[in-house]
Each structure stands twice: as C-alpha cells, then as structure tokens.
Amino acid sequence: MEENSKILKSKYIPSAEFYSQVIDSLQDYSIFTLDNEFVINSWSAGSTKIFGYETDEVIGKHFELIFTDEDKTNGIPKNEIDTALKEGRATDNRWHIAKDKSLFYAYGLVFPLIGSDGEMLGYVKILRDLTDRKKSEDAIKKYVKELEDLNTHKESVLAILSHDLRSPLSAIIGTAKYLKTNFHKLEPSVVQEMLDLIYKSTTDELDMLDHLVEWARIKYASEAFSPSKIEFIQYVEKVFETLNETASINAINLHHEIEANTKVFADGKMLLSIIQNIVSNAIKHTQEGGTITVSAKKKENRIIIQIKDTGIGMSEEIQKNLFAPQIKTLSAARKENKGAGIGLLLVKGFLEKNDGEIWVESIEGEGSSFYFTLPIEKPMNRIDSSDQIAFDESA
C-alpha cells in the first residue's frame, strides 16, 4: 500500500509549458487563441508555418487578419464566433489568406475557452491546411466532367458526320452522276449551273470537315495542346487583319479596347481560332455600317473578354441552345451561316481545354455580346490524363 502511494505521488503532472510544446509540435495545424475582443494572444509554431507570420507579428492583431476580403465583407468571422457561442463550436472549410497574400484551403474549428470558474476567457481557433487535397478533389471533378463532355461531344461529332456531311455528299454524287450520264444532252448553261452547285457544296463540306478535324484534334490529341502566357492584343490584331476586308465590304468597323500587357495563359492556335470564329460570326450578323468591339477586363485570376456587335441579335431560345447545338440547329446554321453552329461548338471545346468558359447576352434587333474567360496564370487544378490523378490518403 505504501509502495503504491509513492508511485501515485511520483506521477508526472504536465505543466503549461508541456502543453505548449505539444501544440507547437503539431506542425500541420495552426492553433491560436483569442481574447474576448477577438484579438490574437497566442500563436503556435504550426500557425507560423501555415500563415507565414511570426508570433510577434500577429499578437495584438484582430483575427480577421486571416480571412479574405470577401469573407470579411460577408461577415464570416463574426458568424463563426456567434455559432461557436451558440452551439459550443463552429466548423468550416474555406479559403484563408497568408502573410504573402497567397490563398490556402483549410478545415477550421473555433470554440469558446471557458475558465475553471465558468468565466469566458476567449476562444481557440484550430486550422488544418487542406489545399493539396482541395486541389486534387477539384482536379478530379474537372477531369470527370471533361470525360463526360468528351463523350457527349463524340456523339455530336458522329451525328454530324452521319447527317450534315453524308447527306450533302449523297446529293453531290447524285448531281455528278446525272452530269456524267447526260452531259452531251444538256445545255452549256445547265452544265455550268450544276458545276457551280457541285463546287459550292464541296467547298462547304470541306469547310465543315476542317472544323471537325480541328475540333477532334484538340479533343482527342492532348499532345497538340501547348498553352503558355501570351499577349492577348496580338491575337486580336491578327484576327482583325484577316477579317478586315470581309468587314469593310459592309462598312463594318472592327476595333478593340484591349490594354497593353493584357496576358492570358492559353494555347495560341486555339485562341486565334476562338477569336476568329466569334468575330467572323459577328460580321455575318451585323448590318452595314455596324460596329464590332473587343474588350477585356481582369477579375481575380482571370481575364473576361467581350466581343460585342451591333447586329440583329438572337432570341432567348437560340441563346439557350447556342453552345449545345442539336443536329437540326447545326444544319440550319450551316445552310444560313456557312458553319456557324459547328464553329461555336469548336470554340466551346477550345475554351474548355484552356480552362475557360463562354456565354452570350443578346437582344433581338440590338446586337449580341459574347463573353469568354481565360486564366492569367497556369491553372493549379489541371489534370490532362488519368495517370496524373493522385489521392492524398494522409489527410
């Protein structure tokens, strides 16, 4: 009995310093405390590793320091504290901002710190950096969506090949066969008319086939994709130079409002095709004396490009199906606009490949504005093949 009593008396009682060392050893976690005014009054070594602030740089600062401007505007820090007081704890997953202004994604937990007599001492905030896991999850979701889109587009291409290419070719063959059989019986003017028809039909077919081959090359041949940081204005000016003669026939004015040094991260050949397709379509739908304007503005880490025309505009029904055309729509577009429908399908595919988006705003009789986005820097969540998918099982 006496021996057991000695053992109990000799047991180590952890000190505050011991607990501090334990907390500082958790390098993957940021752990810090706040007073009742939400001012930081302790800061762990893990916090320094994750946020980049040394202890003396944050002690005495309001804990809003770690939240993004958007979250502060939306009252997220206060909401977090209110929830912790009401429910005993508050958890969230959100983007936070480090000392160097970089963003990282973290799991967060905050709970009230209560003294031994029940008094309110402040709060404890714990975060774990989950940026790598977040990027992996986003990349996997994006890759799965690309696979789904690829399958949808594949079906569209097969349908176009069987309908919009095969049917006109049958007509061309029929006309050529009739000419071959009856050439000596026909008047020269009729022969000329039929030859003109064959020539126009075959050139239209070649134009559509070129679009399909280019689209398929990008969708199915990843090695053809070569993005880099490029000067956007150069590509706009190159398209204007190519299309200026076509626009001038109807006195359509092409101009841009792009600032110098506006850069995007994209494949140059695809970007050229994107701009040329949209501007070319705008020319076809703009009346004599109209204007087509290209402008760009920066929003966060992306550039939003607007191509605006003063043309005939589009109905809501046309806008709704513009970037997911059905065979009937493509056929009509092809007959009226020489491949506009397949051209926009190509544009959408190119933009998706470059981590971009496209949409349109239009009013019938007033004109249309096509908008598309491109990243300024190389996207962090890109996966180009299933071999690159990796799961973080340690988190």
pTM, to two decimals: 0.49
Q: Are residues 87 and 204 in the same domain?
A: no
In a domain, 117, yes or no: yes
Instruction: Give 1's DSSP letter.
Output: -
Q: Residue 336 belongs to a domain with what CATH number?
A: 3.30.565.10
Q: Are residues 125 and 139 in the same domain?
A: no
Instruction: Give pLDDT, residue 235.
Output: 94
Q: Are residues 9 and 24 in the same domain?
A: yes
* pLDDT tier for residue 50 given thresholds of 50, 70 and 90: confident
Structural tokens at position 384: 């180009």
Instruction: Give pLDDT, residue 4.
Output: 52
Q: Are residues 115 and 177 in the same domain?
A: no
Place of tokens 């508050």: 90
In a domain, 207, yes or no: yes
Q: Residue 111 belongs to a domain with what CATH number?
A: 3.30.450.20
Q: Are residues 45 and 191 in the same domain?
A: no
The one-letter amino acid at 292: I
Which of 73, 79, 139, 78 shows the shortest CA–CA distance to 105?
Answer: 139
Place of tokens 């056929």: 331
Q: Are residues 99 and 198 in the same domain?
A: no
Instruction: Give pLDDT, residue 298.
Output: 92
User: Is the model's pLDDT at 158 over the cut of 80?
Assistant: no
What string of H, E and C letters represents the secondary structure of 333-393?
Answer: HHHHHCCHHHHHHHHHHHHHHCCCCEEEEEECCCEEEEEEEEECCCCCCCCCCHHHCCCCC
Which conformational region is residue 92 in: left (phi greater than 0), alpha (psi within -120 to 50 degrees), or beta? Answer: beta
Q: Are residues 124 and 156 in the same domain?
A: no
Contact by Cβ (8 Å): 123, 113: yes
Among 129, 156, 177, the domain-final residue is 129
> Can you name the residues that pair with 358 across neighbouring β-strands?
372
Q: Are residues 366 and 301 in the same domain?
A: yes
In a domain, 394, yes or no: no
Which of 163, 176, 178 shows the shortest CA–CA distance to 202?
Answer: 176
* pLDDT tier for residue 231 given thresholds of 50, 70 and 90: very high
Backbone angles phi, psi at 299, to 5 degrees: -135, 110
Structural tokens at position 293: 């304007």
Whole-number average pLDDT of the chain:
78
Q: Are residues 219 and 72 in the same domain?
A: no
Q: Are residues 139 and 117 in the same domain?
A: no
In a domain, 380, yes or no: no
Contact by Cβ (8 Å): 377, 229: yes
Q: In what order do the strands lie in the sheet with 367-375?
A: 253-257, 291-299, 302-309, 367-375, 358-363
The one-letter amino acid at 125: K
Distance, in Å, from the CA atom of 282 to the CA atom of 304, rounded to the nearest integer, reads: 18
Domain encompassing residue 57: 2-129
The CB density around residue 3, as the number of other CB atoms within 10 Å, is 6
Domain count, the chain: 2
Q: Are residues 60 and 183 in the same domain?
A: no
In a domain, 362, yes or no: yes
